[in-house]
Structure 1
Amino acid sequence: MTTFVDRVELHVAAGNGGHGCASVHREKFKPLGGPDGGNGGEGGSVTLVVDSQITTLLEYHHSPKRKATNGKPGAGGNRTGADGQDLVLPVPDGTVVLDRKGNVLADLVGHGTTFVAAAGGRGGLGNAALASARRKAPGFALLGEPGEARDIVMELKSVADVALVGYPSAGKSSLISVLSAAKPKIADYPFTTLIPNLGVVTAGSTVYTIADVPGLIPGASQGKGLGLEFLRHVERCEVLVHVLDCATLEPGRDPLSDLETIEAELAEYGGLEDRPRLVALNKVDVPDGQDIADLTRESLEERGYRVFEVSAASHKGLRELSFALAQIVGEARAAKPVQESTRIVLRPKAVDDAGFTITEEDGAYRIRGVKPERWVRQTDFSNDEAVGYLADRLARLGVEQELWKIGAHEGDTVVIGAEEDAVVFDWEPTMASGAEMLGRRGEDHRFETQRPAVDRRRERQRGRDAAEEEFKAFEALSSGRQAIEGDDEDY
């Protein structure tokens, strides 16, 4: 049964934002009291957090799909939907996060370090939030934004100060068991160790960690044996210790050839040229082991290596080796720059940054940008007023003006977004917005049914006033005619 996993592929999906609500406040004697639709809740995010108590990625090997919860939709009465719950995934210290193409997204080192693997979608605005002096009663709301979904690869690189490297059965597990309190599996056959073993060593006032890297054989850097699976655990170590078997019975092997083979594999893997090396001639307590150590020591020192003759059984040379490693680790720690407190870096938007780009592709104009693509995702295309609102937003952003500049004509194909979720439409430069479809800015035909009832008394009163004015004018005209006729009669 698998108990240690240091590489997994994980599919993470954040929660979708809740849809906004399009609602109108209604009560007795007030059938149209104004918009009161609430906003949708935010979708939950998927976050990776380093936990020093976790040592393996086994949990994600068995459950490779993880999803946060969605935000709830808004409701009438200005009620905002509940936010989705974030999903927090604990990972071991030293986890590297990559995308499917191998690009590094995050290197998580240190307890509590976090990385948002998938961001939750924004909640859509309700029609109460969309109301303005020019759009008093919006008949639409914005949709919730879909949460981010991606496939990531997590690789564990052990955070250790010292790495023991060497052939299988060279005695690495035995050394780590006597140098520290670690209790790895030990047996007299190759590939006994199937997982990297970590131990803590105390030498004087210095405390450091030591790791046993298993499975290095010729061709390990190309995937032979177990080496390729565990070579990544060497990358974070400050010093490498070559554990050379002075009592091997395999033909064609000796400490010098073993050293050359392991060095060739490390060089093929790459990135380890600057690490200091020590050599531990192991098993000097067995017959002929000391003789082989004496024969090879001078050659190793001529190559510039510090050589220690050790034995896990008799503990010979282990104290000297542990203090030598403590000195190198201490010097490496002192040479590292002091970690400064986190600084907030402000990057203002460039003066000429329009917030979008337009490129011509196969006879169509593709619009890319954070705002236009988000606005498209949040638009309900079954609602004409919502489509008009989108057109207004794009026009204010300058999309229509830019299309004119690059030579677009009415009826040309315009694409907004990436290939997988793009929206395609024929461009109309004077596209009517949703409010214009309903009437003049600030007006709404839904209030037309209410106006006759409100204005009926005024219209009747205006009719009575007009009739009275006409009657008065007729009386004045009649009295004038009688005076003229009387004069005529006097004559």
Structure 2
Amino acid sequence: MTTFVDRVELHVAAGNGGHGCASVHREKFKPLGGPDGGNGGRGGDVILVVDQAITTLLDYHHSPHRKATNGQPGAGDNRSGKDGQDLVLTVPDGTVVLDKDGNVLADLVGQGTTFVAGQGGRGGLGNAALSSARRKAPGFALLGEPGEARDIVLELKTVADVALVGYPSAGKSSLISVLSAAKPKIADYPFTTLVPNLGVVTAGSTVYTIADVPGLIPGASQGRGLGLEFLRHVERCSVLVHVLDTATLESDRDPVTDLDIIEEELRQYGGLEDRPRIVVLNKVDIPDGQDLAEMIRPDLEDRGYQVFEVSAVARMGLKELSFALAGIVGEARAAKPQEEATRIVIRPKAVDDAGFTVVYDEAEEVYRVRGEKPERWVRQTDFNNDEAVGYLADRLNRLGVEDRLMKAGARAGDGVAIGSLENAVVFDWEPSMMAGAEMLGRRGEDHRLEAPRPAAQRRRDRDAERDDAQREYDEFDPF
């Protein structure tokens, strides 16, 4: 059974916003008390949060589809819908979030670090919120926006100060078990370690973490063995420790060749050239291992490596190695730039930024309107309600979409698409819609809610209407 997973594909869907409500207040002796439709609730977000108690992505391997709750629709009597509940997903420290194309969206390091993987949809406004002096009793409400849905990839990169690398059965798991309190599975056969092991080491006043990476073999950076699965776990380490087996029973291997092969794999993987290296000659408690270590040590030191002779079984040379690693880790921490306090960056929009673009799509033969506001307004419109469509026309006209279409060369009958290629609303454009939008702006007015006109005003209006009718009759000449 799989117990460790460090890469998963996760399908997240934020909650949809609740629809607004179109309602008119009614009570005894007040049959038309005005609009009282409430707003819809906001959809829940999908939020990733770092929890250092979590060490694997196993839960998401078994359940890759996660969805937040939807916002509730509004109701009459000015009752707003309940907001959807955010879905909080805990991930291990060191999780990298990527999109389906491999672009990094977030690098989550540190307890409590958060990332909103899916934004909940906005709730639609009810007709009470849409009422104004011009539109006193709207007969429509705005729809809630759909929540953001996307596929993301989670990759775990172990957050450790020291990484132990080397051939299978070189003694990495044994070494980490005696340097720290970690209890990895240890056996005398290749690929005993199938998952990275992490331990905490205390050397004087320095506390650091150490990880052993499952055995690398030639071709690991191209996918052979287990190397490609776990090479990412050495990316965050401050120092790399080559664990070389000086008592190997394989006749075609020797420690120096093992070192060269592992270094070549690290070079092909890339990004690790600046990490300091230490060489550990393990299993020197065996006579042949001690002799081989004394033979190759001068060659390794000539290459610039700091070399330690140790035995994990006999616990030889461990203290010197532990304090040496603590010194290197301390220097790396001191050289690391201090994290700056959170800065608020203000990027004002350009003076000529209209918030949308109009581009002619030759392939589809339509004028495509793209922009946050127009696309959001389209998503919120109930196209089965003529009054709601008129309200959309008003908003687009005030934003300047009509003017921009005319400047782009649009003519009567040309296709106009608002939105992306996959999800767009397409209609035939008519220049007269510009004037029509202004006329539609008076939709929703209810003259029964207006104050009655004085008697003198009513008489003057009747006299004016009678005079206009008489004048039209006198001017009419059928011959």
Q: TM-score, normalized by length of structure 1? A: 0.90
Is 1:364 the counterpart of 2:366 in the alignment? yes
**Structure 2 counterpart of 1:145, which letter?**
E
Equivalent residue for 1:134?
A: 134
Separation in 2, partners of 1:230, 1:442: 64
CA offsets, 1:34-82, max 9 Å, x none?
1111100000000000001100000111100000000000011111000
Find the aligned partners of 2:414 and 2:350 in 1 and give their Cα distance: 30
Report if the CA contact (8 A) 1:44-1:68 is conserved: yes
In the TM superposition, what is the alpha-carbon distance from 1:351 to its structure 2 partner? 1.2
Aligned partners of 1:13 and 1:247: how far apart in 2?
54
| Maintained 8 Å contact 2:6/2:156 | yes
Cα–Cα, structure 1 residues 435 and 367, in superposed 2: closer, same or farther, change >3 Å? closer
Render the CA deviation track for 1:274-321: whole Å, top value 9, x for unaligned.
Answer: 000000000011130011101110111111101100100111111111
CA distance in 1, matches of 2:5, 2:134: 60
Which residue does the alignment assign to 1:190?
190
Indicate the RMSD between aligned Cα atoms, in angstroms. 2.0
Secondary structure of 1:288's counterpart equals helix
Displacement of 1:341: 1.9
The amino acid of 2:316's aligned partner reads K
Counting only pairs closer than 5 Å after superposition, residues 276-287 of structure 1 correspond to structure 2 as 276-287=276-287
- Tell me if 1:216 matches 2:216: yes
User: Which residue identity is paired with 2:219?
Assistant: G
Aligned partners of 2:138 and 2:443 also within 8 Å: no
Determine the structure 2 residue equivalent to 1:154.
Answer: 154
Matched residue, 1:441? 442
The amino acid across from 2:384 in the alignment is S
Preserved contact between residue 217 and residue 225 of structure 2 (Cα < 8 Å)? yes
Q: Would you say 1:419 and 2:421 are equivalent positions?
A: yes
| Matching residue of 1:239 | 239
How far, CA to CA, are the matches of 1:427 and 1:442 in structure 2? Answer: 21
Matches within 5 A, 1:82-93: 82-93=82-93
Structure 1 Cα separation of the partners of residues 347 and 438 of structure 2: 37
Query: In structure 1, how many angstroms separate the alpha carbons of the residues matched to 2:7 and 2:215?
Result: 16
Matched, 1:402 2:404: yes
Asked if the contact 2:168/2:190 (under 8 Å) is kept, the reply is yes
- C-alpha contact (below 8 Å) 1:385/1:433 kept by paired residues: no
Aligned to 2:474: none
Identify the residue that residue 489 of structure 1 maps to in structure 2: none
Give the equivalent residue in structure 2 for 1:10: 10
User: How far, CA to CA, are the matches of 1:108 and 1:420 in structure 2?
Assistant: 32
**1:435 CA displacement:** 7.4
Question: Is residue 2:259 matched to residue 1:256?
Answer: no
SS in 1 for 2:287: coil
Q: Give 1:346 shift.
A: 1.7
Q: How does 1:76-155 map to 2 (within 5 A)?
A: 76-155=76-155
SS in structure 2 of the partner of residue 28 of structure 1: coil
Quick one: percent identity of the two aligned structures? 78
TM-score (norm 2): 0.92
CA distance in 1, matches of 2:16, 2:455: 52
1:152-171 C-alpha deviation (Å, 9 max, x unpaired): 00000000000000000000
Q: Aligned to 2:387, which of 380, 385, 388?
A: 385
CA contact (8 A) 1:387 1:433 kept: no
- Judged with a 3 Å threshold, the aligned counterparts in structure 2 of structure 1 residues 301 and 380 are, in CA distance, closer, same or farther, namely same
The code of the aligned residue for 2:142 comes to L
Q: What's the offset of the Cα at 1:458? A: 5.8
Q: Distance in 1 between matches of 2:229 and 2:213?
A: 10
Runs of 4+ in 1 over 4 A off after TM superposition: 432-435
Pick closer, same or farther for the CA change 1:390–1:298 going to 2, 3 Å: same
Please state how far the C-alpha of 1:443 moved relative to its aligned partner: 6.9
Report what 2:475 is aligned to: none
Partner of 1:341: 341
**For residues 370 and 284 of structure 1, what CA distance do their matches in structure 2 show?**
67
Aligned residues: 457
Please, which runs of 5 or more residues in structure 2 have no aligned partner? Answer: 464-479
Q: 1:435 to 1:410 in 2, by over 3 A?
A: closer
Q: 1:441 and 1:166 mapped to 2: Cα distance? A: 77
The CA deviation at 1:430 is 2.3
Find out whether 1:268 has 2:268 as its counterpart: yes
* Distance in 2 of aligned mates of 1:85 and 1:442: 36
The 8 Å contact of residues 386 and 434 in structure 1, kept in 2 or not, is answered as no
**Partner SS, residue 177 of structure 2:** helix
User: Which residue of 2 is the match for residue 175 of structure 1?
Assistant: 175
Question: Contact conserved, 2:387 with 2:444, CA < 8 A, in 1?
Answer: no
Q: Distance in 2 between matches of 1:354 and 1:458?
A: 49
CA deviation digits over 1:397-430, x for unaligned, max 9? Answer: 1111111111111111111111221110011122
- List per-residue Cα deviations over 1:145-189 (Å, max 9, x = no partner): 000000000000000000000000000000000000101000000
Q: 1:63 to 1:443 in 2, by over 3 A?
A: closer
For residues 225 and 420 of structure 1, the distance between their equivalents in structure 2, rounded to whole angstroms, comes to 41
Task: Report SS of the residue matched to 2:74.
Answer: coil
Corresponding residue for residue 374 of structure 1: 376
Q: CA deviation at 1:251?
A: 2.2
8 Å contact from structure 2 (residues 169, 215) kept in 1: no
- Higher gyration radius (CA): 1
Matches within 5 A, 1:28-67: 28-67=28-67
- Find the aligned partners of 1:218 and 1:112 in 2 and give their Cα distance: 39
CA contact (8 A) 2:163 2:237 kept: yes
CA distance in 2 between counterparts of 1:101 and 1:340 reads 30
Residue identity in the other structure for 2:285: D
Q: Write the distance in 2 (CA, Å) between the matches of 1:92 and 1:256.
A: 36
Which residue type is aligned with residue 15 of structure 1?
G
Match of 2:467 in 1: none
Counterpart of 2:305 in structure 1 is 305
